[in-house]
Structure 1
C-alpha cells in the first residue's frame, strides 16, 4: 500500500466513518493459486476495540469455497477518485497524479449458520429499507425468505489490521490545492466533483 505520513487520517474514527459510508466492498481471499474476489455490501460493527464486518455471499461460488478453506481475507473499501492534472500547478512541469481514498481491512472470516444468516439479511434489509417500505423485511413472505436463504451464507470478519490511504493533495501548497479543486469542480465529472468536496473538507 502506498503509505506516506501526510496521506494518513488524524484518528481511527475518521477511518471508521469512511468504512461506514462506503459499505459496498471488494472482499478478497486466496484459493492457493490465485486471489479470489467478490463485491458485497457489509455492515461495520464496532464494539469497544473490536471491529467486525458482517454480510452474506452466494453459497455455490468459487469465493465461498475459498473462504471456507482459507479464512484469511481482506476487505477493500474505496471512495471517490480523480485524475489530478499538473497543468494547474504553480509549476506545471511536474508529474500529474491521482487522488483517492481507500481502506484495506484484513481479518479472519467466519461463515455463519442458517439462523445467523437470517439475522444478517434482516439487519441489512432493515438498515436500507424504511419500516413502511413495501420491500421491508417484515413484509416479506416467510416461505419466500426461507427458499432464498438456502442459496446464501452469512459471514462475520473479525478485523485484525487496518491500513488506509486518504490521498487528497495534502503535500501541495494552498495555491495548488485551490487550483486543483477549481479544476475538479469545472470538470462536470461526478467522481471529480466528489474529490473536490473531500479536498474542501480537508482544508476546514
Structure 2
C-alpha cells in the first residue's frame, strides 16, 4: 500500500463510515497451488467489542471459496471516489499530474458459517439493502420457501476480523489552499462530485 503519512486516515469513525458507504470490495487470497484468486462482493461492517469485522457471503463452488478454505488469509480492498488531478489546475502547474483516490485495506482470516447464522445474516443483509422496507418482495423473510431451499445450500457466509487495517485517502493534502480549491472546482465541472465532496469535507 502507498505509505505516505499525510494520506493516512486515523479517525476510526471516518474509516467505519467509509466502509459502510462503499461496501462493495475486492477480496483476494492464494490457494494451496500458490495461484491468486479474487472476487468482489458487498460486505456489512460490524464494530464489535473485540474489533472491526466485515461479513458477507459467496457462492460455494468457486475457485475463490475453495482457496479461502485451503488458505484463510485474505486481503480485502475497499475503494471509494477516485479521479485524475491535472497539475494544470494548480498554482504551480510545472510538475507531474496525479490521481486522487480513497482506499481501505483489511487483512485477516476468513471464517465460514452456515445454518441459522447464515439465515440471520441474509435477513439483515437484504433488509439493509432494501432500506428497511419490510414490504419489499425481495427481503429474505418475503422469499418463498421453494426459492430459499433451492439457493441457500449454494452459498456460505464469510466473516473476517480486521487483524490489520490500512488506509490511503489521497486527496491533494499537500496543495496550497488556492490550488486545493481549484482542484475541487475542476472536479465538479467534470462531474466527479463525490471526489470533490470528500475533498470539501477536509477544508479547515
Task: Give the TM-score of the pair, scaled to structure 2.
Answer: 0.94
Give 1:101 shift.
0.3
* 2-structure distance, mates of 1:134, 1:153: 22
| Corresponding position: 1:170 with 2:176 | no
Give 1:117 shift.
2.0
Give 1:10 shift.
4.0
Gaps of 5+ in 2: none
SS at match of 1:169: coil
Give 1:134 shift.
2.2
* 2-structure distance, mates of 1:139, 1:168: 43
* 1-structure distance, mates of 2:197, 2:11: 20
Query: Does the Cα contact within 8 Å between 2:123 and 2:139 map onto a contact in 1?
Result: no
SS at match of 2:117: helix
Query: Does the Cα contact within 8 Å between 1:54 and 1:155 map onto a contact in 2?
Result: yes
* 1-structure distance, mates of 2:119, 2:138: 16
**How far does the alpha carbon of each residue in 1:165-193 deviate from its partner, in whole angstroms, 9 at most, with x for none?**
001001110011011111111113xxx22
* 2-structure distance, mates of 1:97, 1:106: 27
Give the structure 1 partner of residue 5 of structure 2: 5
Give 1:49 shift.
3.7
| Corresponding position: 1:158 with 2:165 | no
Give 1:113 shift.
2.3
* 1-structure distance, mates of 2:53, 2:26: 15
Give the structure 2 partner of residue 122 of structure 1: 123
Give 1:99 shift.
0.4
Give the structure 2 partner of residue 18 of structure 1: 18
SS at match of 1:44: strand
| Corresponding position: 1:58 with 2:59 | yes
| Within-5 A mapping of 1:46-195 | 46-129=47-130, 130-188=133-191, 192-195=192-195
* 2-structure distance, mates of 1:113, 1:137: 15
Structure 1 stretches of 4+ with a deviation exceeding 6 A read none
* 2-structure distance, mates of 1:106, 1:38: 15
Gaps of 5+ in 1: none
Q: Greater CA deviation, 57-66 or 5-14?
A: 5-14
Number of aligned residue pairs: give it.
201
Q: Greater CA deviation, 90-99 or 26-35?
A: 26-35
Query: Does the Cα contact within 8 Å between 1:59 and 1:151 map onto a contact in 2?
Result: yes
Query: Does the Cα contact within 8 Å between 2:77 and 2:104 map onto a contact in 1?
Result: yes
Give 1:88 shift.
1.2
